[in-house]
Structure 1
Amino acid sequence: MSTTAPEPAHDLSGAWQLTSDLDEFLDRGGDFLRAEPALHTVLLSVTENLRVRGLRAYGEGPPLFGTYADADGTVSGAFLRTPPHRVSVSPVGPEAAGSLARLLADAGPDLPGVGAEHATAEAFSRAWEKHTGAAGALTTRQRLYRLGDLTPPEPEPPGRARVATAADRDLLARWHDEFGEAVGERSAADPGEWADSRIAYGGVILWESPDGTPAAMAGATRQVAGQVRVAPVYTPAGLRGRGYGGAATVAVTRAALDAGADEVLLFTDLANPTSNGLYQRIGYRPVGDFAQWDFTATATP
């Protein structure tokens, strides 16, 4: 199976329309996002979380949204930014990526980076450097996977899976912070609020050792447009290599299927061959490659 996302259209006469209104964004771009839920999983899950939890779910800065329409008015691209995080962009052609970089640079050159399908992310980063003088650096290469046939590993590690509850709030908050440190992505959101939001819809599965001690967690986003994305998966350093993370991933995947998800997705860091191998062994198949670029401080004119 190809690991390259479909090539976006290269429209030369389209235009971006920006808004700070979530409902307006979804009215204009919702059908476009739902037409390819796997490729748009980040935009779908983030907007659903903003809809449920409020516009400050990811930080104190006001979110910004936008849709890209071709000359005939057909929406063929979208983006969102929840400060202080990177901008997330759907797969678009280089002209659309470049024009978005120019628009956001004119609005204020304080953007920390971009996350998107790999060609889109690179085109945006090159344009950002051109318009601001701030150099971009490729920091993370990711692969998006979609579940084929779930194949639990054998033998299963000792223990059992259970849904995290309010009694696990402190543990989830601590592991949320530890996960962020491990992947170099410290969240601006309060870890306790993150734990509360996941507990509210059963969004974390814990794998317990036989004595009842939590050994790993696997989270899942809210279901939207028929898709659920597994994230995060975390095992404390001292408990790794025993199959706990894989068992938790199987359990949270099965829970998503039981809840009616049409697609179960997850991202991996391509620099981590262990996780890429594990997820393929349990039934996940490549969809496409994505990237994150970080920007240096804007050069002084």
Structure 2
Amino acid sequence: MTWHFTEDTAAFRAAAGAHLAAEATRNTAVLTLMDGADRLGWWAGSDGRTTGVLAVSRSGALHLGATTQEAARALASRPGEEPVSVRGETAAVEAYARASGRPWRPVVRMRLFRLGEPVPPDPAPAGRHRTAAARDVPLVAAWTREFAVAIGEEPAEDYTGFAAERISEGRLVLWEAPDGRPVSMAAVSRTIEGQARVHLVYTPPAERGNGYAAGATDTVGRVAAARDATRILLFTDLSNPTSNALYQRLGYRPVTDHLGLEFSGTAG
């Protein structure tokens, strides 16, 4: 029983492909990150089966996919394994943190949802949706910065490229009020292993309470489905009961809870 590591995405797929496919929904973060990851890893049990996967981002953050607690504890016990932060399913992350012996603090508690039968917003919000265009890049970049601040992240200096990529690929929609003003947005990831993840759902504070986010979220999910995504996913912050209730009204169903934590020192 051991962890194996590589920087080669093809080698990772060859070794862990069956596990990635069998647990594609639970492995969504690793699948999304793997092409640009600094390092990839898989845990092979005594029977040779893979029962854990990970991706280490270029920032040094460790992302656990569907991983057993045994594998998480073994990973934390490896010499030199001291990531700045860890994210993944709650049980595995907590097992890793306890085994590491390092002081840590929770940063965010999330819930992964999967869309079942889509349910249109009721009542339908005023206005209409449209696919974001090149002229919207400055607005989307500004809103993305506001979104990062709102969820407690350290914002980047410039989100122009981030916004332009999603807009150029037709993966971001805006909701417009009846007077034509953009009042909300939602984006969707590229489709990987048949699944896409809704993200960047944001409405400026002055426009909240009108159902605009529901309209944008419903629309972008249908965009992904029209592009052959068979599974539509999203993460919610468990500290935000409003968004958790909203997504369930739209047909999203809970899959598993996630924990993000940061370490504040070395093992004692």
Settle same-fold status: TM greater than 0.5: yes
**Alignment partner, residue 86 of structure 1:** 61
SS at match of 1:250: helix
Q: CA RMSD in A?
A: 1.8
* Conserved? CA contact 1:84–1:188, under 8 Å: no
For residues 238-277 of structure 1, the aligned pairs below 5 Å read: 238-277=206-245
Work out the CA distance in 2 between the residues paired with 1:76 and 1:190: 38
Residue identity opposite 1:256 in structure 2: A
> Which letter maps to 1:182?
A
User: CA separation in 2, counterparts of 1:231 and 1:85?
Assistant: 22
1:107 counterpart residue number: 80
Structure 2, gaps ≥5 residues long:
none
Structure 1 residue ranges without an equivalent (≥5): 1-13, 56-61
Q: How far apart in 2 are the matches of 1:108 and 1:266?
A: 29
Runs of 4+ in 1 over 4 A off after TM superposition: 187-190
Cα distance per residue 1:189-247 (max 9 Å; x no partner):
95122112212321111111122211111111111111111112111111111111111
Give the TM-score normalised by the residue count of structure 2: 0.93
Residue 44 in structure 1 maps to residue 25 in structure 2: no
TM (norm. structure 1) is: 0.83
CA distance in 2, matches of 1:85, 1:231: 22
Q: Is the 8 A contact 2:145 2:156 kept in 1?
A: no
Name whichever of 79-88 and 282-291 sits farther off: 79-88
Show the counterpart of 1:59: none
* Residue 25 (structure 1) aligns with: 12
Aligned length: 268
Q: Is the aligned partner of 1:201 residue 2:169? A: yes
Equivalent residue for 2:200?
A: 232
State the distance in 1 between where 2:260 and 2:67 align: 15
The corresponding residue for 2:89 is 117
Q: Quick one: which of 32, 39, 42 aligns to 1:67?
A: 42
Q: Match of 2:107?
A: 139
CA contact (8 A) 1:16 1:100 kept: yes
The percentage of aligned residue pairs carrying the same residue is 41
